[in-house]
Amino acid sequence: MSLAVIKFSSEDCGLCHKMSFYDQKVAQELGLEFVDVKMQDTATYRKYRKILLAQYPDKAEMGWPTYLICKSPEAEFKIVGEVKGAHPKGEFRSRLQELIDQVPAN
């Protein structure tokens, strides 16, 4: 089962920048793929936009940054959870771990 963390962020978001010092490392330590999608990077954003819009059709409720955890992001993706906003490293890790633990192993 391939699980990925897709980070939706903005280049001018201070909290997004702060999280980037450890978010990818934490995700990889937990065995997750990590995809960084900056809204300004149109090619990457276009590729993953359908995942973001599945969760936030009008982008109104999303936080900065928004991490969507999903199965098979390159194919028939399924969103299994999310972490919104900035968190200290330990809390970010435990939030991701909780989401992973809830995913059926099929």
Q: Which fold has domain 3-101?
A: Glutaredoxin (3.40.30)
3-state secondary structure of 88: coil
Q: Is residue 9 a contact partner of residue 16, using CB atoms and an 8 Å limit?
A: yes
Percent of the chain with pLDDT over 90: 84
Residue 19 CB neighbour total at 10 angstroms:
24
What is the mean pLDDT of the segment spanning 78-83? 95
pTM: 0.93
What is the mean pLDDT of the segment spanning 37-57? 95
CA distance 5 to 27: 7
What is the mean pLDDT of the segment spanning 4-15? 95
